């Protein structure tokens, strides 16, 4: 289909398949309309979506600004879920390393020597087991705290995204379902809150293809290249 660069701006994004409708609701609220949706050529669980929006849409500057903030909020969900359990995983890894090192040293002393050194070897190996047990306890405690903290951050981002969509709908009225946005509940924990945002940065990847740039002083989204027309 030929593109009308005089009257429309164009944008292309790659989105995870299970997040497609949710992301499209956000873009519809910003005045964008999907033109085509195809499977991504590189990732089997991704969709490649081309959108367009009237070039002379009302309140374009503000919509551009809201789009920047929306894309930043969505992408931050990926970072939150990827880094949610860094500390607990580090504690567990260190405890495992300590166990292996102390057990190896203890077994070597116990087998290679007699007398006090052999006894010391047994004690060292036993201490390695205690360190691992303490590490597992610390891991469990940290894991629960991290999950609660990450869920709170996710909910903040979801509320922010919803407020941006609500404002965008007021600026560029669209179909009612476009205003639904992110309505997840985080009360059941991080996984319930950010379901689908746990597979790395490919979850949402704006790509450059003939997109619009802001007409005012607002920053342009990273997925857009410039005005067309």
Residue 47 has pLDDT above 60, yes or no: yes
Q: Is pLDDT at 190 greater than 80 in this prediction?
A: no
Residue of higher predicted confidence among 190 and 48: 48
Question: Is it the case that residue 173 has pLDDT exceeding 70?
Answer: no
What does residue 207 show for φ and ψ, rounded to 5 degrees? -125, 155
Tell whether the model's pLDDT for residue 65 goes beyond 50. yes
Q: 71-113, pLDDT tens digit by residue?
A: 999 889 888 988 999 999 999 999 999 999 999 999 999 999 8
For 104-141, write each residue's pLDDT tens digit. Answer: 999 999 999 888 999 999 999 999 999 999 999 999 99
pTM value > 0.85: no
CB 119 within 8 A of CB 109: no
Residue 210, pLDDT > 70, answer no
Angle of CA points 166, 15, 45, to nearest 5°: 140
41 — phi, psi (to 5°)? -75, -20
- Residue 194 confidence (pLDDT): 40
User: Among 7-21, 106-120, 195-209, which is the least confidently predicted range?
Assistant: 195-209
Q: Which residue has the higher pLDDT, 48 or 199?
A: 48
- Strands 8-16 and 46-54, bridge-based pairing: antiparallel
Residue 159 banded pLDDT, cuts 50, 70, 90: very high
């Amino acid at each position: 289909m030929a593109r009308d660069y005089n009257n429309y701006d164009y944008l292309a994004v790659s989105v995870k398949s299970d997040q497609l409708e949710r992301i499209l609701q956000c873009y519809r609220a910003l005045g964008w309309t999907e033109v085509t949706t195809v499977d991504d050529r590189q990732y089997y669980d991704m969709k490649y979506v081309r959108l367009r929006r009237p070039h002379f849409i009302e309140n374009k500057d503000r919509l551009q600004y809201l789009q920047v903030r929306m894309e930043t909020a969505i992408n931050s969900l990926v970072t939150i879920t990827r880094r949610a359990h860094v500390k607990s995983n580090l504690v567990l890894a260190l405890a495992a390393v300590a166990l292996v090192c102390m057990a190896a040293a203890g077994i070597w002393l116990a087998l290679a020597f007699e007398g006090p050194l052999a006894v010391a070897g047994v004690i060292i190996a036993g201490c390695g087991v205690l360190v691992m047990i303490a590490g597992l306890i610390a891991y469990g405690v940290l894991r629960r705290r991290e999950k609660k903290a990450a869920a709170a951050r996710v909910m903040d981002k979801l509320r922010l995204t919803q407020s941006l969509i609500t404002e965008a709908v007021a600026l560029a009225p669209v179909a009612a379902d476009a205003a639904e946005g992110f309505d997840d509940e985080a009360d059941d924990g991080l996984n319930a809150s950010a379901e689908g945002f746990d597979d790395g940065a490919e979850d949402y990847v704006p790509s450059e293809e003939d997109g619009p740039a802001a007409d005012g002083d607002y920053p342009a989204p990273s997925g857009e290249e410039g005005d067309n027309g």
